[in-house]
Structure 1
């Protein structure tokens, strides 16, 4: 009798094993659903945070670069279809000139200027009193009269800038100001959701170049993604400056990610006194 009782009390029955398996399965299913939900929330929040960071970065960089643009150098795509670009020429250095060959004075191959805080790079060009984009983009730096010329040499000891030929600037700046410039920069918003920055392309274009003419994706940097263009509402609106007001660039890009949308309302003032 004792041996029989011991055999009956040891081990589990089939029903008990099945019940344990069912209970464990339900517990694993419940725990896994929480894990999956938590992972999904983490991935979605990380994606949203990444898009927010990209959008803030590109807006901040655009703002800083546009504020540092040469007066009257901005131009925006007039009839955007698949993209809209804003083009401008950054100021590499700027200061006042003391004596430059300016019309109606005779042409000369040298002038006297104040040294900018960033110095003068001989690879840059000297620009005086640009009143419209054509004064920059349609300029001929190798000509003898104009507003933009190549620089051959500069002596910080005598504050003398030298050109490789006798030149004459078309018009004097009321503030006796000159700019040192290099290449143009463009920011392009595409209907496919990308924002790209273009640089180091030929800036001397009578009409604003397209993204393909600037070199396409091979000569650009991807700045942000997930921008949305709805109903032809492009994000760049440019108001040229007047005699009493500075130029204003209105930026209103809209971004969407994981069903969430957010839009910027940003104004950038550009100094309009060359």
Structure 2
């Protein structure tokens, strides 16, 4: 009679244990590989996000009226240039409500303001409404081929530009960090003193979210004003965090603003 062949209980237990070890190692390998792929994806997303934010700020700041760029430790603020030209004559009596210009070559919307380019005014004057002063009150809509600009009220320009440079500017724009949020504020009333982030956040202007994952207090600013020999320079940096807060990505950028927009 032939003896029966098979596995003993000990052999079966050993096989089950070995299969369990192999399965555990395989699961850990797959989990670590997946986690690594997710980490790489999140780093790439933060890097792309940093590039987009940095490029948006850079492009907008480069279109700023050079003498208007300022910061208060919380916010970066500037006056956007809509169009530029030269003037034939500034406002004259008796009404002081019209400026004669070389056509802008593009339409300028109503409620923009005119500013004479020069170094004779304090920066706060660019945000003020003094009369006489370097910045006009709101203007009427200007066509691309119009040779005159009508002002909403009388105004005398205190400065003159040697090259008769004249620019149409829009309402101020600010970028501020509030907690983990990076906001862009626009459409608010200009003020001689730069408004705080809290004042802008509670104001009547338009608020747009640029980022929701900034590390607290990481939005650092430094503005070097322009001079007759060099352009203005804006340095800014910020730090983005991932969803779990375990890793961060720091972005730093330098922007040069030409003296003549």
Task: Give the TM-score band, short-chain normalised.
Answer: 0.7 to 0.9
Structure 1 partner of 2:224: 239
Cα 1:226–1:117 shift into 2, 3 Å: same
Cα 1:58–1:49 shift into 2, 3 Å: same
Deviations 1:214-267 (A, max 9, x none): 12598231336344658xxx6211111222222211224455667666645532
Matches within 5 A, 1:80-159: 80=73, 84-101=74-91, 107-129=95-117, 131-139=121-129, 147-159=135-147
Counterpart-to-counterpart distance in 2, 1:117 and 1:157:
6
TM-score, length of structure 2 as denominator length: 0.81
Aligned length: 255
CA drift at 1:209: 0.9
Cα 1:139–1:161 shift into 2, 3 Å: same
Structure 1 partner of 2:191: 205
Between Structure 1 and Structure 2, whose CA radius of gyration is higher?
1
3-state SS of the aligned residue for 2:67? coil
Question: Which one of the candidate residues 22, 29, 33 is aligned to 2:24?
Answer: 29
Deviations 1:78-134 (A, max 9, x none): xx4xxx2111111122222223216xx654332322232432212322222363322
1:269 lines up with 2:261 in the alignment: no
Counterpart-to-counterpart distance in 1, 2:126 and 2:200:
17
Q: CA RMSD in A?
A: 3.1
Gaps spanning 5+ residues in structure 2: where?
Answer: none
Structure 1 partner of 2:15: 20
Gaps spanning 5+ residues in structure 1: where?
Answer: none
3-state SS of the aligned residue for 1:169? coil
Counterpart-to-counterpart distance in 1, 2:146 and 2:191:
35
1:251 lines up with 2:236 in the alignment: yes
